[in-house]
Amino acid sequence: MPGQHVLRVRTLYRRILLLHRALPPDLKSLGDQYVKDEFKRHKTVGSDEAHRFLQEWEIYAAVLWQQANKSRENSTEKACFGTDLPEEKLNDFRDEQIGQLQELMQETTKPNKQFSITECTKPKF
């Protein structure tokens, strides 16, 4: 079974990096680095945490796939990526995860306009 787990992790990792190709270049760069760091950080976690980690990243990949397809279908409209983080999920975060989320927010909202993130006008699913 460990071989299947490794295959599942590698497949998901590659899928996410491929999906990031649909993102604007600055978000792709940030997303790729974040995914690489997170997957490295979780190499040695216990099976329960590994299972939850993979579930969350599989949800992320599914949402990103839907948004990328929608973006391709509506090429005349501005691409809209991301979802709101439900409060109940935020309440489940450990202090370390909250810190990572804050760092990510600071990185994406730097005043030097390295990233051009604007609010979507369409509702996020």
Closest CA to 32 of 44, 43, 53, 18: 18
Report domain extents, the chain: 2-108
Cβ within 8 Å of residue 41, ≥6 positions away: none
The SS3 assignment for 110 reads: coil
Q: What is the total residue count of the chain?
A: 125
Sign of CA dihedral 44, 50, 56, 62: positive
Q: Is the confidence at residue 99, as pLDDT, over 80?
A: yes
- Express each pLDDT in 61-75 by its tens digit: 999 999 999 888 887
The SS3 assignment for 28 reads: helix
79 or 70: which leads in pLDDT: 70
- The pTM of the whole model exceeds 0.85: no
Percent of the chain whose predicted confidence (pLDDT) is above 70: 86
41 or 78: which leads in pLDDT: 41
- Express each pLDDT in 106-118 by its tens digit: 877 776 555 555 5
Encoded amino acid at 5, one letter: H
Q: What is the mean pLDDT of residues 92-104?
A: 88
